[in-house]
Amino acid sequence: MKKNPSNNKTKQIDNHLIDNSDKLLTTNDGVAIHDNNNTLKAGERGPSLLEDFVMLDKMAHFDRERIPERVVHARGSGAHGIFEATEDISQYTKAGFLKKGTITPLFLRFSTVAGFKGSTDLARDVRGFSVKFYTEEGNYDLVGNNIPVFFIQDAMNFPDLVHAVKPEPNNEMPQAASAHDTFWDFISLMPEAAHMVMWTMSDRAIPRSLRMMEGFGVHTFKFINEEGKATFVKFHWKPKLGVHQVAWQEAQKISGYDADFHRRDLWENIDKGNFPQWDLGVQLIPEEDELKFSFDILDPTKIVPEELIPVKIIGTMTLNRNPENFFAETEQIAFDPGRLVPGIDFSNDPLLQGRVFSYADTQNYRLGGPNFHELPINKSVNGKHNNQKDGFGRMDILKGNVSYFPNSLGNGCPYHAMLRGEKGFESHSEKIDAKKIRGRSTSFADHFTQARLFFNSQTEAEQNHIISAYSFELSKVKSEDVRRRELAILNQIDKKLAQKVGANLGLTPPAQLDSLTIQFAKNNHPEYPIQPNKPEVEQSAALSMAVKSGEGTIETRKVAFLVADGVSKVSIDKMKLELEKEGAEAVLISTHMGRVKFKEGGEEPIQFTYLTEASVCYDAFYTPEGESVAKLQQEPDYFQFINEGYRHCKALAFAKGAEQLIAGSYLKDKEKDAGVILESENNLASDFIMVMKGHRVWEREESRKIPV
């Protein structure tokens, strides 16, 4: 696909690009610098002089290079792209960028939540999924996550949630991990978090790639049509590459081998022209049906099962351009779910309502004042015309003497849309007739039914991963009271889940919720526990990530070809051709850098070695034939690749003659499964591809466990 395609947003950004090639080094004032190595001194061995503005200019700027990192979602990776609207949904919304056929530039920033800016990509965590659409009617931000629900129901609890999950305040440990006392203390006192925590303990929290995650707007929003009629809407991003995970043990190892694993994967794929795509889907709920469900659609801890309201695809997003500069674009982009374009409105979800304040407020602080809208990455493509002026870092230069409204000296400009019979953003005229209360609706009091729905919708392997994740995390919690309190919550969700986690912790799950948990729940709902409504569905297929062998795609998957000098080029090329036909990538790994020599004669440059690479960074493994096989017998790191690949349930293919290497690995004592593919017994390439399409051979995980 075309490299670095341009559109009205990228052209706007390009106007700010600085190209230093063939340019003289200058100070910030444009004065040419003669010597960039030495400060001005009084004599060769004398003190430095204060008049050295060249040095002071350089140092003063350097001293101010860092800005505060985001209070959450500090670690992120972004890319430019476009959204193309493909369906006519004008009966629901007048939003211009959703009109069929419209193409809108956008920037997407993915993130983890808890870790600092330099933390690992592979933390067990929620992933942020923020999209800024640069529409012709102004910027619209859909600031979502890769999980469709949230921990809490009311924004008032957000600072507490974040304090609990971040490293503990006394010793600032642990980094980018929820496996510690304060998080589970808070969570076990907040039964409303039960559903979201179930998702964060699932494989959704350890994605294989940012390109292989779903995204969700989480809250229920409103679409508003030309007539001013509202329809409730929930947003979904569905990745074309499917939804995939890594194994937890893998995630931990990747964090050591390549803490930038997700960032690198996104960057490299866009760079190669493998542009990731997502379909945008909507669940549309007529206003009249607001109260029709067993749960409250304003409660952000609830999904609307796709069995009740199907997801309608309305367009496609393509990420097609890497940023030129991480700081200027990915770091300085300022998202805000509290600003809207005509055709979209808020619902009364109390979490969303709190977000309306928090984002603009944090950007004002983080980006040093109210002019962050003028930064190239944040600037709207349709301009900004108002009487807001001055402030730190102001870039726009307002003409004339008028900066107030109403005015006559400036011909009333910038003018109000309504004064000239035009339309601007109008809030939905929802009728509200209520008493002010500081409290919570009883329709928000069912905390476990959807957590159960999620657990029931998982395959056995996925359930086992959830059990292991709870066991891992709670084992890191020092307080036995906290562990027991969380087990009581799990017992309300699913007895088997609670018992299995309990067995791993050496605790019996309590039958009742802890009295402290109930006390806090009663704070919101004095009559807690409240009998939940009967759910409409007990299972929902869309909640599982499982793919069957042969069903998925292997596009952009990385297959390690494990070679050494003397390897057969024919054996490499045959497999490579078949994999490339399916869009996968073959990466040769050898015993040394430089050039690898072929059995048939000739050689090729090689970049990757057993020293620098790790099995956990690859999706599948192929050992070609040749004299290399004898060399690999002597290479312990080769066996590490094979053993680990097997342990992590990946496909392993061996060309004729190469299967003798199995004798030196842990596989030798294991009953052969579909994921170990031998040229002597199988249709090598097609069977290999079929197993890879299924992502993993999960049944191997429990029945054929091996050390590594």
CA distance 438 to 435: 10
Q: Choose, by CB under 6 A, the member of 39, 84, 86, 158 that binds ligand HDD.
A: 158
HEC string of 333-401?
Answer: CCCCCCCCCCCEECCCCHHHHHHHHHHHHHHHHHCCCCCHHHCCCCCCCCCCCCCCCCCCCCCCCCCCC
| DSSP per residue, 447-503 | -SHHHHHHHHTS-HHHHHHHHHHHHHHHHT---HHHHHHHHHHHHHH-HHHHHHHHH
β partners of residue 623: 654
Question: In terms of CB distance, is 237 or 639 closer to ligand HDD?
Answer: 237
Q: Which of residues 105-134 bind ligand HDD (CB under 6 A)?
A: 109, 111, 128, 130
Sign of CA dihedral 4, 6, 9, 10: positive
**Closest among 599, 671, 588 to 630, alpha carbons compared:** 599
Sign of CA dihedral 505, 511, 516, 520: positive
Q: Choose, by CB under 6 A, the member of 81, 105, 115, 144 that binds ligand HDD.
A: 144
- In whole angstroms, how far apart are CA 301 and each of 130, 141, 526? 19, 21, 20
Question: In terms of CB distance, is 150 or 261 closer to ligand HDD?
Answer: 150
Q: Cβ of residue 421: shortest distance to ligand HDD, in angstroms? A: 37
CA distance 445 to 528: 8
Q: Cβ of residue 115: shortest distance to ligand HDD, in angstroms? A: 13
CA distance 473 to 469: 6
Q: Choose, by CB under 6 A, the member of 355, 485, 647, 704 that binds ligand HDD.
A: 355
CA 118, 124, 126 angle in degrees (round to 5)? 85
* Cβ 170 vs Cβ 276: under 8 Å: no
Q: Choose, by CB under 6 A, the member of 96, 354, 510, 535 that binds ligand HDD.
A: 354
A 10 A CB-CB count for 438 gives 6
Q: Identify the active-site residue in 145, 146, 269, 643.
A: 145
Residue nearest to ligand HDD (CB): 128
Question: In terms of CB distance, is 134 or 638 closer to ligand HDD?
Answer: 134
Q: How many residues bind ligand HDD (CB under 6 A)?
A: 25
Q: Identify the active-site residue in 73, 219, 373, 695.
A: 73
CA distance 546 to 467: 17
Q: Which of residues 195-254 bind ligand HDD (CB under 6 A)?
A: 218-219
Question: In terms of CB distance, is 130 or 665 closer to ligand HDD?
Answer: 130
Dihedral, 668, 674, 675, 680 alpha carbons, nearest 10? 70
Question: In terms of CB distance, is 119 or 590 closer to ligand HDD?
Answer: 119
CA distance 82 to 318: 5
Q: Choose, by CB under 6 A, the member of 1, 49, 60, 71 that binds ligand HDD.
A: 71
Binding letters toward ligand HDD, positions 305-344, x by CB under 6 A:
------------------------------x---------
Q: Cβ of residue 352: shortest distance to ligand HDD, in angstroms? A: 7
Applying CB under 6 A, the span of 202-210, 250-258, 275-283, 352-360 interacting with ligand HDD comes to 352-360
Sign of CA dihedral 621, 625, 626, 627: positive
| H/E segment holding residue 264 | helix 261-272
* Catalytic residue list contains 195: no
Applying CB under 6 A, the span of 142-150, 188-196, 582-590, 658-666 interacting with ligand HDD comes to 142-150
Q: Choose, by CB under 6 A, the member of 53, 257, 359, 472 that binds ligand HDD.
A: 359
Kindly give the pairing relationship between strand 230-239 and strand 221-224.
Answer: antiparallel
Applying CB under 6 A, the span of 31-39, 357-365, 382-390, 657-665 interacting with ligand HDD comes to 357-365
Dihedral pair phi/psi, residue 455, rounded to 5°: -60, -45
CA distance 509 to 489: 9
Question: In terms of CB distance, is 363 or 463 closer to ligand HDD?
Answer: 363
| H/E segment holding residue 215 | strand 215-216
Q: How many CA atoms lie within 13 A of 187 on its CB side?
A: 32
Q: Cβ of residue 67: shortest distance to ligand HDD, in angstroms? A: 12
Q: Which of residues 246-305 bind ligand HDD (CB under 6 A)?
A: 300
**155 touches ligand HDD by CB under 6 A:** yes
Q: Cβ of residue 224: shortest distance to ligand HDD, in angstroms? A: 21
CA distance 4 to 276: 14
Binding letters toward ligand HDD, positions 465-504, x by CB under 6 A:
----------------------------------------
Q: Cβ of residue 296: shortest distance to ligand HDD, in angstroms? A: 15
CA distance 464 to 458: 9
Question: In terms of CB distance, is 143 or 692 closer to ligand HDD?
Answer: 143
Q: Choose, by CB under 6 A, the member of 93, 139, 145, 378 that binds ligand HDD.
A: 145
Q: Choose, by CB under 6 A, the member of 13, 75, 76, 164 that binds ligand HDD.
A: 76
Q: Cβ of residue 32: shortest distance to ligand HDD, in angstroms? A: 38
Q: Cβ of residue 448: shortest distance to ligand HDD, in angstroms? A: 20
Q: Cβ of residue 253: shortest distance to ligand HDD, in angstroms? A: 27
Dihedral pair phi/psi, residue 258, rounded to 5°: -155, 90
Question: In terms of CB distance, is 76 or 509 closer to ligand HDD?
Answer: 76
* Cβ 591 vs Cβ 610: under 8 Å: yes
Q: Cβ of residue 81: shortest distance to ligand HDD, in angstroms? A: 15
Question: In terms of CB distance, is 161 or 487 closer to ligand HDD?
Answer: 161
Question: In terms of CB distance, is 276 or 624 closer to ligand HDD?
Answer: 276
CA distance 188 to 486: 5
**Closest among 37, 82, 619, 545 to 320, alpha carbons compared:** 82
Q: Which of residues 361-390 bind ligand HDD (CB under 6 A)?
A: 362
Question: In terms of CB distance, is 367 or 651 closer to ligand HDD?
Answer: 367
Q: Choose, by CB under 6 A, the member of 95, 122, 143, 662 that binds ligand HDD.
A: 143
Q: Which of residues 77-106 bind ligand HDD (CB under 6 A)?
A: none
Q: Choose, by CB under 6 A, the member of 304, 351, 466, 649 that binds ligand HDD.
A: 351
| DSSP per residue, 646-696 | HHTT-EEEE-TTGGGGGGGSGGGGSPP-TTEEETTTS-HHHHHHHHHHT--
Tokens of 332: 């300085």
CA distance 32 to 25: 6
Question: In terms of CB distance, is 158 or 415 closer to ligand HDD?
Answer: 158
* Catalytic residue list contains 34: no
Question: In terms of CB distance, is 129 or 528 closer to ligand HDD?
Answer: 129
Q: Cβ of residue 237: shortest distance to ligand HDD, in angstroms? A: 12
CA distance 647 to 641: 10
Applying CB under 6 A, the span of 65-73, 181-189, 244-252, 596-604 interacting with ligand HDD comes to 65-73
State the residues that interact with ligand HDD by CB under 6 A: 70-73, 76, 109, 111, 128, 130, 143-145, 150, 155, 158, 218-219, 300, 335, 351, 354-355, 358-359, 362
As annotated, the active-site residues are: 73, 145
